[in-house]
Amino acid sequence: MHKVYIDGSVGTTGLQIVERLAGRADIQLLDIAEEYRKDINARLEKINQADVAILCLPDEASREIVAAVDAAGIDTTIIDASSAHRTADGWVYGMPELSPEQRESIRTAKRITNPGCHASGFIAVVAPLVKSGVLSPDFPAVCFSLTGYSGGGKGMIAEYESNKGNPDYAMRQYALGQSHKHLPEMTKWSGLTKAPVFCPVIGDFEMGMITSVPIHGGQFEGTHTRADIHGILTEHYNQLPPSLRDTPLGEEGNHPGTSCHLALQGNIHLLPLDSDNIIAANALAGQDDMLISVDGNDERIVLTARFDNLGKGASGAAVQCLGIVLGSLEG
Would you please indicate which residues are annotated as catalytic (active-site) residues? Answer: 117
- How far is the C-alpha of 211 from the C-alpha of 202, rounded, in Å? 12
- How far is the C-alpha of 178 from the C-alpha of 126, rounded, in Å? 19
304 Ramachandran zone, left/alpha/beta (phi>0; psi -120 to 50): beta
Its sign, for the CA torsion 144, 232, 290, 322, is negative
- How far is the C-alpha of 92 from the C-alpha of 114, rounded, in Å? 9
- How far is the C-alpha of 93 from the C-alpha of 80, rounded, in Å? 10
- How far is the C-alpha of 127 from the C-alpha of 240, rounded, in Å? 14
- How far is the C-alpha of 44 from the C-alpha of 39, rounded, in Å? 9
Taking the C-alpha atoms of 16, 22, 27 and 29 in order, what is their torsion angle to the nearest 10 degrees? 70
- How far is the C-alpha of 139 from the C-alpha of 32, rounded, in Å? 47
Neighbours of 274 (CB within 10 A): 10
Neighbours of 75 (CB within 10 A): 9
